[in-house]
Structure 1
């Protein structure tokens, strides 16, 4: 009766974990990217990007992008990484695509669009201007004159506009080979009176980020002020009427998606006032301005700032932090508290990827390195497990003798552990050491664009998305899409099998409840891991296989332990 009650209790606990985990995971550990492919007739077929910007002539568009782009004069943007244009009406960078990245893994997929003119679907742009006292400043309707028709690396463009009283405003734009625009805003006072003028810059976007904002991955408003990166402001705060403002010297602010970023970076040596706000219908703004400067007649002033618009590539962000002095710019990626451990894991994985040419192979090599470094610890774990196997008959005898006196049983067991020099918790150390490595790999696969759309072999075309092949629809042969909760891919199944085999090599717990939990745990983890990135599933499965091989090898070196197990 007691054993039956234990079995029921183990099953109830397992069901609670199985059905309760999705609610916990969605908040603390959101699953992987949406599937990049589905399996049809046993073959991988690319899926459209969920929430991708509709085409200019799509019904969802407020106005066709192609029409809006033709309504005002423009300066073309042509760099190795970016294509687009600058709107001379209002001095806006509002048309930008990233040619290095595609919406999906399909060969004919369009490049990812980051910026789009206001009045179109997903309007998203940066604007630059001036305000002040005694100034007839340009407005969002002002059409600027341009010094050239193309902005490219090494070929800056200057926009200019003069008002009726002789005050000249200029905006000189430069761009590098990656994603950084340099903005030099100038004012020359050709009037007869002194003026007070202040330049400003803003980023405006329509709607929330299409990437979820969670406990482990922040998307939305982001910035660094007074040396500290702020992840606490989100779109919901702005929806509720909050408009946080910050005063800082050095820093930056903007909007971050999982992989993309727009950020304004003022002169890092000067004080500025900045913040976020909501304006109009479903529009959000990040802006900054510097203190007003008084210009006497005949005087001029120029202020310099930067605008980043592109992919959050680790090396690029690190370089801008180092060479441009942007404080904490690498924190545009929400590494969290364990950045000191996660970034080294990323660097090793990225190096292995460049070495092997395949990201799945890189994960396998990383797994081998981790297991190799942990081999001495694993040997100690094995020795502890072997010792525990040897003393199990004595443990069982104590449990039978003192089954009615739990306190006395614990005292005798502790005395036995001391006498035999065994530690029942020693076997947990490798598992505890694996947790930060696994979490770091989770963050790397979830956050870094270097891992986006990276294939492995056969049907696995994106290791940052779940394994798409599931036996529930006969591996795509049936025209049936199982619910996400049940769509268990091949890799999660292999993970469950290898975990089961690994547990079979470990000493069986004396407690019947623990025995039942450990026997069910591999299959629970099979369900838990199904929505996670295939790269994580690959890492865990290979780690299990290496552990099994290691245990088999150690048993072959110490055959006496098998005899001890038999006696136990």
Structure 2
């Protein structure tokens, strides 16, 4: 099983190694020391930037999937209320069938929001294996990974930030600096993740989507993630924790931008956006803004029409022009 996992992850190790090597070469070309910990740290940051930029199309799909999930929550609640208290297999099966039929009818995919995480996971483990194997490559006990030669591995393995080596972990560390840097990174990871989830739930969810099992699950995850980071973070090299933190920071800033500029229909963020525009005396004056508002309205109307079976009456051209 271990050999199968290694062969499965190895292509991602190569991609990670080449991206880090490319950034490291560029940074040393502009004068940064090759064996310096900050040079390798910036190479890891560069890896995050490349990865997250490549995932932007998936993130856009995730936004639309999340909005659809929010809009169909009232209908899902009706299905759940219909079978409330019925625990027999037949009723549970019917409830599942009706829920899946609703998802199919409205084009909603409850798992679409997981796509960016799933795509990132192999690269995360690839980075873990690259950093974990630096000592073996430097000593000659392990074969080089792509461009990471013995010389580069020795440089990366011995490089430090705040006195802690990038390849060291909290578990088994003899240095206080390693433990301190690990704890600080875990705290930063927890804060950025908490902030991302908190602003998503408090600002970018309509009131109808806050009182349902999906929202309750989000609340649980809000407080569960810091515990997960604390338990798992002590087992990862500092370089992986840096990758994790920068990824979370990207997600937080990206989410902040989306909530501010493209809020979900009916959410507090949408009301705040209209208030800001009203104070400035602005209306949607660019094609992008008009397209986004029209898209949100059309998506909400289309989903409402599908789940309720009621078609909205078309407006006459003259009446529409007056409006």
**Smaller-chain TM-score range?**
0.5 to 0.7
Q: 2:163 and 2:63 mapped to 1: Cα distance?
A: 35
Cα root mean square deviation, aligned: 3.4
Tell me the secondary structure at the aligned position of residue 165 of structure 2.
coil
**1:435 shift after superposition:** 0.8
Q: How does 1:384-403 map to 2 (within 5 A)?
A: 384-403=65-84
Q: 1:565 and 1:523 mapped to 2: Cα distance?
A: 29
**1:561 shift after superposition:** 3.2
The count of aligned residue pairs is 224
Q: How does 1:416-495 map to 2 (within 5 A)?
A: 416-448=102-134, 449=138, 450=153, 451-456=156-161, 459-466=162-169, 489-495=183-189
Structure 1: stretches of 5+ with no match in the other structure: 1-27, 29-214, 217-333, 469-474
Task: Deviation per CA, 1:391-425: give whole Å up to 9, x if none.
Answer: 22222222122223422221221122122211001
Q: 1:421 and 1:494 mapped to 2: Cα distance?
A: 37
Task: Deviation per CA, 1:454-479: give whole Å up to 9, x if none.
Answer: 223xx2531111369xxxxxx88xxx
Structure 2: stretches of 5+ with no match in the other structure: 33-38, 87-91, 139-152, 272-323
Tell me the secondary structure at the aligned position of residue 338 of structure 1.
helix
Indicate the residue corresponding to 1:556 in structure 2: 260
For normalisation by structure 1, the TM-score amounts to 0.36
Tell me the secondary structure at the aligned position of residue 362 of structure 1.
helix
Tell me the secondary structure at the aligned position of residue 444 of structure 1.
helix
Indicate the residue corresponding to 1:501 in structure 2: 195
Indicate the residue corresponding to 2:95 in structure 1: 409
Q: How does 1:30-429 map to 2 (within 5 A)?
A: 336-356=7-27, 357=32, 358-405=39-86, 406-429=92-115
2:244 aligned to which of 540, 554, 559:
540
2:228 aligned to which of 504, 524, 542:
524
Q: 2:260 and 2:270 mapped to 1: Cα distance?
A: 15
Moved more, 542-551 or 518-527: 518-527
How has the CA–CA distance of structure 1 residues 562 and 501 changed in structure 2, closer, same or farther, with 3 Å as cutoff? farther
Q: Verify the 8 A CA contact 1:455 1:461 in the aligned structure 2.
A: yes
Q: Verify the 8 A CA contact 1:491 1:537 in the aligned structure 2.
A: yes
For normalisation by structure 2, the TM-score amounts to 0.60
Q: Verify the 8 A CA contact 2:62 2:115 in the aligned structure 1.
A: yes
**1:559 shift after superposition:** 3.0
Tell me the secondary structure at the aligned position of residue 452 of structure 1.
helix
Q: Verify the 8 A CA contact 1:403 1:409 in the aligned structure 2.
A: no
Task: Deviation per CA, 1:9-61: give whole Å up to 9, x if none.
Answer: xxxxxxxxxxxxxxxxxxx9xxxxxxxxxxxxxxxxxxxxxxxxxxxxxxxxx
Moved more, 432-441 or 398-407: 398-407
How has the CA–CA distance of structure 1 residues 549 and 446 changed in structure 2, closer, same or farther, with 3 Å as cutoff? same
Q: 1:386 and 1:392 mapped to 2: Cα distance?
A: 10
Larger Rg: 1
Q: Verify the 8 A CA contact 1:384 1:422 in the aligned structure 2.
A: yes
**1:502 shift after superposition:** 2.8
Q: 1:438 and 1:563 mapped to 2: Cα distance?
A: 33
Q: Verify the 8 A CA contact 2:260 2:269 in the aligned structure 1.
A: no
Q: Verify the 8 A CA contact 1:498 1:545 in the aligned structure 2.
A: yes
Q: 1:396 and 1:460 mapped to 2: Cα distance?
A: 54
Q: 1:433 and 1:532 mapped to 2: Cα distance?
A: 20
Q: Verify the 8 A CA contact 2:197 2:222 in the aligned structure 1.
A: yes
Q: Verify the 8 A CA contact 2:182 2:238 in the aligned structure 1.
A: no
Tell me the secondary structure at the aligned position of residue 397 of structure 1.
helix
Q: Verify the 8 A CA contact 2:9 2:125 in the aligned structure 1.
A: no
Q: 1:487 and 1:539 mapped to 2: Cα distance?
A: 14
Q: 1:538 and 1:562 mapped to 2: Cα distance?
A: 36
Q: 2:20 and 2:41 mapped to 1: Cα distance?
A: 10
How has the CA–CA distance of structure 1 residues 520 and 338 changed in structure 2, closer, same or farther, with 3 Å as cutoff? closer
